[in-house]
Structure 1
Amino acid sequence: MNALSPSVDVNATPMVRFEAVGKTFGGTGGHPAFTALTGVDYTVQRGAIAGIIGRSGAGKSTLIRLVNGLEVPSAGKVFVDGVDVAALDAAGLRALRREVGMIFQHFNLLSSRTAFDNVALPLEIAGVGADAIRAKVLPLLDLVGLSDKAGRYPAELSGGQKQRVGIARALATSPKLLLSDEATSALDPETTQSILELLKRINADLGLTVLLITHEMEVVKTVASDVAVIDGGRIVEQGRTFDVFTRPQHETTRSLLSAASGGAKLPEWISADLKPAPQPGDRALVRLVFFGETAFQPLTARLVAEIGPDVNILAGAIDEIAGEPFGSLVVSYPAEPAVLERAARFYAETGLTTEVIGYGV
């Protein structure tokens, strides 16, 4: 169980499973082949909000298009609720797509249709009657906070309102899986936050599994319980969002994290002069990471008591990752052998996670 997805049942059939998936484009008619995905293994548990993050061109859009059959893998298999997507015939694919909603970066609303009619469109295509459509659409507009905008056209709506219409439309066929393709990239930070809160509420209230792709670490940190990092068509790191953010193992993850907000960051005038090894008179600059039990303990005061009063706090931040508290401090103290030994002993005894950033005066 985790803070963002309390309904996740890890023993149930996964909602989405990628097994050794590869995808190659071209290679025929004289066109050179391009490999977009290689050996992708990834599982999205039922009821989870899972994120796939990567830079532009990393392969995440191709990956999500395999889920609803818009692309077919060149190797491996993609399963949705235990069903091999590539093995479905045309009728099977149509049925699958009614169970897999999708929201887009640029909303993809029809400008000639009102908010009500845009949400109603999938139901009209499915042959649902007018009374049943109204009974379905109005509660959905209320769910996304647009009950008073049913008669408005897209040109009369803000970006956030358009995306809410897109979410309501994606929910019209009562899907069990919602795919989000960079759904917040075109929105300002405040609107992005409101959309993410809406996705969390839909996940909790409807038990809907959400798979989102994004290049924004802040989005994953806020809403996703689990995350996979994709680079060059390969999954280079995956796990609980909190674990990946607090203990990144791959250089791509660390690079993406360094560009995200949050975490204690040193001013440039300090970090520019740091050295990898101490010289006489230098101070050690160390990042202390607080999470889990350590997040609520007065460990900084205890550190001062352990190694002496000559401890400076240079930077600090408090954050929340996947619903769990996370904080960091950058401190400095004399890089003297006796002090370093006492500090190392203190860290080992308390379980405090640390990182030596460098040495300076």
Structure 2
Amino acid sequence: MVAFESVTKRFGGSNGQPAFTALDGVDLTVARGGITGIIGRSGAGKSTLIRLVNGLEKASSGRVVVDGIEVGTLAETGLRDLRRQVGMIFQHFNLLSSRTAFDNIALPLEIAGMDRKAIRDRVAPLVDLVGLGDKADRYPAELSGGQKQRIGIARALATEPKLLLSDEATSALDPETTQSILELLKDINRDLGLTVLLITHEMEVVKTIASQVAVIDKGKIVESGRTFDIFTAPQHETTQSLLSAAIGAKLPEWIRADLKPQPAPGDRALVRLVFFGETAFQPLTARLVAEIGPDLNILAGAIDEIAGEPFGSLVVSYAADPQTLERAARFYQQTGLTTEVLGYGA
């Protein structure tokens, strides 16, 4: 649905001031009919990237292609046509306070010149779709944050777009409301076949909703692929840093602070065991105890779901003597269990 081809975007550079490079040679494809997330820290280039899709910004070089149309070549009339095919929802809702929920949803249709009866026929089902059939005559000041965002989603769908852009759409909401909005977006993606491209700094959002993810850092895409693959085995240090607090079992800081890279006599090995795919449903912990003996301690554990797939992790400790370490290593090799040695401690 969307292709970024060697896209660079610079700002400034006039009056003797150096240009700021917001995007630097971005190559990325967004699959039709899927949900793709773009994650990164503040200032990484996420918002600039998404604003190139509907022509709110223009690339300095490279191509942005949406459903076969190169955005940078469009004149104003072509951009208007494109924007009817690309809906957008915003972090702070961007509703007009003087218009009811119904009339906020109807606004893009009015601008397009649609007659009032056709507008009613289009908007009424959208109000029901987002679960606010009883709030159609309310003004934004009378709605909660989650309800305002639902109206924003309905407004974005009013022109029957092929692509929905989400610019930090849940970051102003509480966790419970965020979850309900994500469920709504998943339903829309599934039922309408709508392609969704979202940007966020919230790892939980991507983990819950996106099938594909790209990580952006300092204007470059540093890693991309299936959400499950990226989250369970991040390769780039930026991805590892972003995900460190979002995935898997967490060790208490008082344990982490005492870990050493090499064992001393009498120390124990602290090892993270990761369960997914074929290992997710096997009793491997019990088999590990049988292999190395009962002196195995479980220090932390977590069961999670990433892009609809199960993922679990345990942090265990056992004696760091050579015989035990060798038996454990042999067991991991035989079973295919993914492991990470976190360090050694008393």
The answer on 1:327 being equivalent to 2:273 is no
Superposition deviation, residue 338 in structure 1? 1.0
Q: Provide the C-alpha distance between the structure 2 equivalents of 1:41 and 1:259, rounded to a whole number of angstroms.
A: 28
Structure 2 matches for 1:7-156, cutoff 5 A?
15-156=1-142
Q: Provide the C-alpha distance between the structure 1 equivalents of 2:17 and 2:137, rounded to a whole number of angstroms.
A: 48
Superposed CA deviations along residues 130-186 of structure 1, whole A, max 9, x for unmatched, are 000000101001000000000000000000000000000000000000000000000
Q: Provide the C-alpha distance between the structure 2 equivalents of 1:201 and 1:235, rounded to a whole number of angstroms.
A: 28
Superposition deviation, residue 268 in structure 1? 1.3
User: The residue matched to 1:118 in structure 2 has which SS?
Assistant: helix
Candidates 166, 176, 189, aligned match of 2:152: 166
Q: Which amino acid aligns with 1:282?
A: D
User: The residue matched to 1:248 in structure 2 has which SS?
Assistant: coil
Superposed CA deviations along residues 61-110 of structure 1, whole A, max 9, x for unmatched, are 00000000111111111100111110112111110000000000000000
Structure 2 matches for 1:216-295, cutoff 5 A?
216-260=202-246, 262-295=247-280
Q: Provide the C-alpha distance between the structure 2 equivalents of 1:194 and 1:93, rounded to a whole number of angstroms.
A: 32
The answer on 1:202 being equivalent to 2:182 is no
Structure 1's unaligned 5+ residue stretches are 1-14
Q: Provide the C-alpha distance between the structure 2 equivalents of 1:52 and 1:269, rounded to a whole number of angstroms.
A: 34
Superposition deviation, residue 31 in structure 1? 2.8
User: The residue matched to 1:297 in structure 2 has which SS?
Assistant: coil
Q: State how many pairs are aligned.
A: 346
Q: Provide the C-alpha distance between the structure 1 equivalents of 2:40 and 2:84, rounded to a whole number of angstroms.
A: 28
Name the residue aligned to 1:298: 283
Q: Provide the C-alpha distance between the structure 2 equivalents of 1:153 and 1:273, rounded to a whole number of angstroms.
A: 56
Q: Provide the C-alpha distance between the structure 2 equivalents of 1:41 and 1:353, rounded to a whole number of angstroms.
A: 31
Q: Provide the C-alpha distance between the structure 2 equivalents of 1:94 and 1:115, rounded to a whole number of angstroms.
A: 24
Candidates 336, 340, 350, aligned match of 2:325: 340
Q: Provide the C-alpha distance between the structure 1 equivalents of 2:227 and 2:326, rounded to a whole number of angstroms.
A: 33
Q: Provide the C-alpha distance between the structure 1 equivalents of 2:113 and 2:58, rounded to a whole number of angstroms.
A: 28
TM-score between the two structures when normalised by the length of structure 1 = 0.95
Identity %: 82
Over 6 Å off, 4+ runs: none
TM-score between the two structures when normalised by the length of structure 2 = 0.99
Mean CA deviation greater in 331-340 or 23-32: 23-32
Q: Provide the C-alpha distance between the structure 1 equivalents of 2:6 and 2:330, rounded to a whole number of angstroms.
A: 44
Q: Provide the C-alpha distance between the structure 2 equivalents of 1:73 and 1:258, rounded to a whole number of angstroms.
A: 33
Q: Provide the C-alpha distance between the structure 2 equivalents of 1:352 and 1:212, rounded to a whole number of angstroms.
A: 33
Question: How big is the alpha-carbon RMSD for the aligned residues of Structure 1 and Structure 2?
Answer: 0.7
Mean CA deviation greater in 62-71 or 85-94: 85-94
Structure 2's unaligned 5+ residue stretches are none
Q: Provide the C-alpha distance between the structure 2 equivalents of 1:90 and 1:300, rounded to a whole number of angstroms.
A: 62
